[in-house]
Chain A
């Protein structure tokens, strides 16, 4: 598909508010192609078609606002490079507004260093208005969900490339080289703004586990370099943390998209379920719902086109998490939870 015909198809899907089509287009080569289209598509996918009314913003200051302001002020952000001082100041102001709105709309969430990178990318395309319903698992009270997500990385790689997975495990390298990839959607690590927004096209269009799948694809893309390296932790950690600096190629993105269809997140969790011991079934269920957020209906609609409703939704989730629920029922016969 040429860029021109893709632009036409994106415009058509925007007119029809066809979110499934837009998601499919965001996952293929070049994503949403240019920032003009992104300005139209991202709000649609972030808010959903019917979410016209944004969550009211509190006037009460969020506890983490001072830290946020400090980080934004002193940051050198990828979107700011090669641009004038005045432009940079305006961008920093936009980033502060975006991040502050998210925090004030969600007083129970926490700011983490790296979230300003995410907001920087959003603000670079959308400006500071309207507010964005964006939150990540790294904004929970601790990073338990993030580390549980990262614990799925090696099981995922093992499904596709057992030799690379075994090599990483043998070296004792924990999957923390991918921490900033996952919690900042690669925006902390990649230098090229064009590559970052392309990845945001992918993530906004995909299951919330997509950053994990892309991380796996990046690792496998560097297969030969890894296997040729010394099998020790510092060497491999350094190699991998620097591996995405320039950009992530369309080939790697395509691999991640293929992988998430071959091994869907629910299947991956089943495969690795023996390893996820830190999360109780209840918190996993909550996490799953929250992860999917406003895109849940679309994800489910694409799998079951004629059935809707929250009971069906819960049944599907229960099915996806059935091993955990079974173990939950066995270990919590009264149904109480300690989460």
Chain B
């Protein structure tokens, strides 16, 4: 079983999003401060861990990296359970990856715990010339979904540390508000301020009938 030895908190984060948006590269940058220009195909699920200090608290961050390809979703879906936070990643040079975020948000609302906090992450911010998604579009979607939106570049490291730290901090604030201590014991009722827009998710569910 999980042990809290040496840590104040354990936080479990999940990365989802279309294939090739840079989920594994974000993890590589965050956990190993490295970058590879080669495509890293994630088959099924991968796992990394990093210790982070947030507001004087030592946090063990467990990061689950999921395959983006549609056919692996039956497997990756089972990993939503128990996630405290989900990074919904898109490639800001690929409009479709952004448009598909709503589908990913539906998956999160359906399979993750109801109080899991979502964060929209637009990756590849270094490729400014090829940008297809404006920061305003992401912010607007984030508002609808009741999330925050950030932009990152796994290549240049810009925004990566900040994105993960922000999400972890929000999770800790939520825990404190609910009187929880570590993230190991079960979590209670949902926090109204972070829940996904349920009506919107329900409408999507009705129309898509899947995920």
Contacts and interface: CB of A to CB of B under 8 A. Distances in A.
Interface of A: 67, 70-71, 74-76, 110, 112-114, 117, 138, 142-144, 147, 174, 176, 179-180, 183-184, 188, 230-232, 234, 237-238, 241
A232 to B, nearest CB: 6
Nearest to A234: B47
Given A142-B74, A143-B74, A174-B78, A113 B43 contact: yes
A75 B47 contact: no
B69 A113 contact: yes
Nearest to B67: A113
Contact of A237 (B1, B39, B47, B69): B47
A234 B71 contact: no
B160 interface: no
A74 B38 contact: yes
B38 A179 contact: no
Contacts of A230: 3
A240 to B, nearest CB: 10
A177 to B, nearest CB: 8
B44 A74 contact: no
Given A113-B41, A179-B75, A234 B46 contact: no
B45 A110 contact: no
B50 to A, nearest CB: 12
B1 A147 contact: no
Given A75-B41, A114-B43, 6 more contacts: A74-B38, A76-B38, A113-B67, A176-B45, A179-B44, A238-B48
B36 interface: yes
Contacts of B3: 230
A230 B62 CA distance: 15
A2 to B, nearest CB: 38
A67 B18 CA distance: 12
Interface residues on B, range: 20 to 34
B49 interface: yes
Given A75-B38, A113-B69, A234-B62, A180 B1 contact: no
Given A180-B44, A234-B47, A74 B20 contact: yes
Contacts of A231: 1
A110 B44 contact: no
Interface string B84-95: 000000000000
B174 interface: no
A174 B82 CA distance: 15
Given A112-B71, A143-B75, A230-B3, A70 B20 contact: yes
A234 B46 CA distance: 9
| Most chain B Cβ neighbours within 10 Å, of A67, A75, A232, A234 | A234
A234 B75 CA distance: 16
Interface in B31-74: 36, 38-39, 41, 43-49, 62, 67, 69, 71-72, 74
A270 B107 CA distance: 36
B39 A71 contact: yes
Interface in B3-49: 3, 19-20, 36, 38-39, 41, 43-49
A113 B39 CA distance: 11
A110 B71 contact: yes
A318 B174 CA distance: 57
8 contacts: A71-B39, A74-B39, A75-B39, A113-B69, A142-B71, A144-B74, A230-B3, A238-B47
B21 to A, nearest CB: 12
Contact of A184 (B43, B62, B75): B43
Contacts of B45: 176, 179, 237
A176 B1 contact: no
A338 B172 CA distance: 48
A147 B74 contact: yes
Contacts of B41: 71, 75, 113-114, 117, 188
- Which 8 pairs of residues, A with B, have the shortest CB-CB distance? A76-B38, A74-B39, A180-B43, A179-B44, A113-B41, A114-B43, A113-B69, A176-B44
A117 B40 CA distance: 12
A188 B20 contact: no
A183 B41 CA distance: 13
Nearest to A188: B43
B2 interface: yes
A70 B36 CA distance: 17
